[in-house]
Amino acid sequence: MKNLIILIFLLPLEIFACSAFFSDGTSKFFAKNFDWAAGEGYIIVNKSGQKKFAYGLRGNNQASWTSKYGSLTFNQIGKEFPYGGMNEKGLVIEQLWLSQSMYQDNKNQTISELEWIQYQLDNYTSVDEIIKHINDLTIKPIATIHYFIADRSGNSAVIDFIEGKTLISRKQGMNQVITNEPYLNSEKYFESLKTPVNADSRTHFDRYCQIKSKLSQIQIENHNQAFEILSLSAENRTNYKTYWSIVYDLSNFKIYYKSLSNPGIKEINFKELDFKPDKTLQACNINEEIFQLQNYTYEVNEYQFLTSMKMMGVKLDNTLGATHQMNPDQNRIDKVYQDNYIDLTINFVSKDASGNIFYTLLQGEENYKFRKGTRSGMIPVYKKENKKIIYGVPKGDYAVACFQDSDLDNKMDKKIFGIPKNFGFSRNKKGFFGTPPKYPDAKIDLFEDTEITIKIK
């Protein structure tokens, strides 16, 4: 029992946070906190009339298009991989981490999860247009996220990807909020809340309630009020902070932003930007004291790209990737990524539909022996069979361990005499009296996309 508890709880869970909201009042404001482990980044002016291909992370059927509209985006991984932004028609898109995302396979051209943002800004003018074309591409991700979109007409929507299906949740009323849970789950939690909102909590659900409750009390009339509401859900941990806060003023075509290292509010007037195809590519470091555009070079972009890949532990053809970002007019296939990563689908079969399932992947017998996981996470249990796709798993041999926490106390459930229950391993192997099986008994070889079933009992 002790061995299995150590196996799960000493491994890092993928828990990140961001918060965002849209307010459709006299003026329309879209606001976002970017919470992460690093705060470097650039604000890039993207030109119209540019021929583009999605980068070749999966297969060879990448999306291709020519940008119709210019945009301004907030980038940390380099050009063409934005975290969010607004185009010259007033369409705003932002992304937030969501561990539960499983993307719909539309059997058509593919694109990565961040390039999808740039594609929408390049091609569409409104929420309705995005939704009309929502299945035109298949997202093949590295990370799992969901999207928040809004436009100048006052429309907004959250786009979730739940159990391989695309779920659209349009704004009802004047405001819409999103954190790091599926939108409908957050709404359900808010509606069922019987106690006052916990202002000190930083859980996904409580941050949602903090912002939604405040928005119900006031009508936002200026960007300073929007920043004040964002501050309700800001993070300030030792290695994890709110590094950027961004407010899009859709009514007046302006963007306001600030960063942790330079907290003064900066203003960007969209009417002063030049998106013409022949314009030299320009950008501004997000941590500068003022917003001042300068030429955006290959060297700056390469540094962003290489630093981000190293921090995330992702192996790519770095030269090819950095080159493609600056000149995305060719279909480039990243053989380094394709040769080193697969997707693992796990079907968790439980006796009851309650609580959460904690899981971890351990690569190789040495890591299994010392309980060192390659990938760990948690999924909520809504039914007796729950599916999870773990994207971008490094190829190799693994064992998978999991347990179901039915009563939501973040502990393993036990039988009489303290014997653990409701747990499982790959190949449905177990040791005696709740101990882990030997590694060869639980080992699975992952050298191509694979689907397995684990029975939790």
Collapsed DSSP state (helix, strand, coil) of residue 217: coil
Q: Say yes or no: 445 and 389 in one domain.
A: yes
Q: Domain for residue 11, yes or no? A: no
User: Biggest alpha carbon distance in the chain?
Assistant: 74
Q: Say yes or no: 99 and 225 in one domain.
A: yes
Could you tell me the CA-to-CA distances from 407 to 204, 241, 357, 382, 412 in Å, in that order?
Answer: 19, 30, 11, 13, 9
Q: Say yes or no: 346 and 322 in one domain.
A: no
Last residue in a domain, options 291, 326, 361: 326
Q: Domain for residue 139, yes or no? A: yes
What single-letter DSSP state applies at residue 68? -
Model pLDDT, residue 368:
93
Model pLDDT, residue 417:
56
pLDDT in tens, the chain (457 residues): 444 443 443 344 445 689 999 999 999 999 999 999 999 999 999 999 999 999 999 999 999 999 999 999 999 999 999 999 999 999 999 999 999 999 999 999 999 999 999 999 999 999 999 999 999 999 999 999 999 999 999 999 999 999 999 999 999 999 999 999 999 999 999 999 989 999 999 899 999 999 999 999 999 999 999 999 999 999 998 888 999 999 999 999 999 999 999 999 999 999 999 999 999 999 999 999 999 999 999 999 999 999 999 999 999 999 999 999 999 999 999 999 999 999 999 999 999 999 999 999 999 999 998 888 889 888 999 899 999 999 999 999 999 999 998 888 777 777 765 667 889 999 999 887 778 899 999 999 999 999 999 999 8
Q: Say yes or no: 202 and 168 in one domain.
A: yes
Model pLDDT, residue 174:
96
Last residue in a domain, options 275, 302, 326: 326
| Domain region containing 38 | 19-326
DSSP H helical ranges for 140-242:
183-192, 204-215, 223-231
For the chain, report the end-to-end CA distance as a whole number of angstroms: 14
> Is 444 within 8 Å of 426 (Cβ atoms)?
yes
Total count of domains within the chain: 2
Model pLDDT, residue 407:
82
Q: Say yes or no: 305 and 439 in one domain.
A: no
Last residue in a domain, options 326, 360, 393: 326
DSSP letters spanning 260-280: TTEEEEEEEEGGG----TTSP
What's the gap between Cα 11 and its chain centre?
A: 20
Q: Domain for residue 214, yes or no? A: yes
DSSP H helical ranges for 313-432:
318-326, 335-340, 364-369
What's the gap between Cα 254 and its chain centre?
A: 25
Residue type, 321: G
Q: How far apart are CA 199 and CA 208, in angstroms?
A: 11
Residue type, 264: G
Q: Say yes or no: 216 and 358 in one domain.
A: no
Q: Say yes or no: 347 and 310 in one domain.
A: no
Q: Say yes or no: 153 and 297 in one domain.
A: yes
Could you tell me the CA-to-CA distances from 441 to 257, 349, 404, 445 in Å, in that order?
Answer: 53, 20, 21, 12
Quote the crossing angle between the two packed helices 183-192 and 204-215, to the nearest 10°: 70
Q: Say yes or no: 368 and 318 in one domain.
A: no
What single-letter DSSP state applies at residue 427? G
Q: Domain for residue 241, yes or no? A: yes
User: In which element (H, E) is residue 54 found?
Assistant: none
Q: Domain for residue 331, yes or no? A: no
Q: Say if pTM beats, i.e. exceeds, 0.85.
A: yes
Q: Domain for residue 165, yes or no? A: yes
Q: Say yes or no: 218 and 322 in one domain.
A: yes
Q: Domain for residue 373, yes or no? A: yes
Domain CATH for 370? 2.60.40
Q: Domain for residue 70, yes or no? A: yes
Model pLDDT, residue 416:
65
Q: Say yes or no: 316 and 274 in one domain.
A: yes
Model pLDDT, residue 239:
85
Q: Say yes or no: 121 and 252 in one domain.
A: yes
- Nearest CA-CA partner of 377 in 147, 84, 36, 102: 102
- Nearest CA-CA partner of 400 in 370, 369, 368, 432: 368
Q: How far apart are CA 150 and CA 425, in angstroms?
A: 43
Domain CATH for 137? 3.60.60.10
> Is 73 within 8 Å of 121 (Cβ atoms)?
yes
